[in-house]
Amino acid sequence: NLPGNQLQTLPADVFNLLTELKTLGLNSNALTVLPPGVFDGL
């Protein structure tokens, strides 16, 4: 979980190796746009 970390951007490949990821918490961050394909492979 990554809530409250003031994240503004995520690299497009940030989750590439996390094929078993079941839950992802990104609440309370400053994300406004996610790159195309950021969740591909999950």
pLDDT, tens digit, 9 for 90 and up, residues 1-42: 889 999 999 999 999 999 899 999 999 999 999 999 999 988
What CA–CA distance (Å, rounded) separates 24 from 17? 14
At residue 3, the pLDDT reads 93
At residue 15, the pLDDT reads 93
Query: Do 11 and 39 form a contact (C-beta atoms < 8 A)?
Result: no
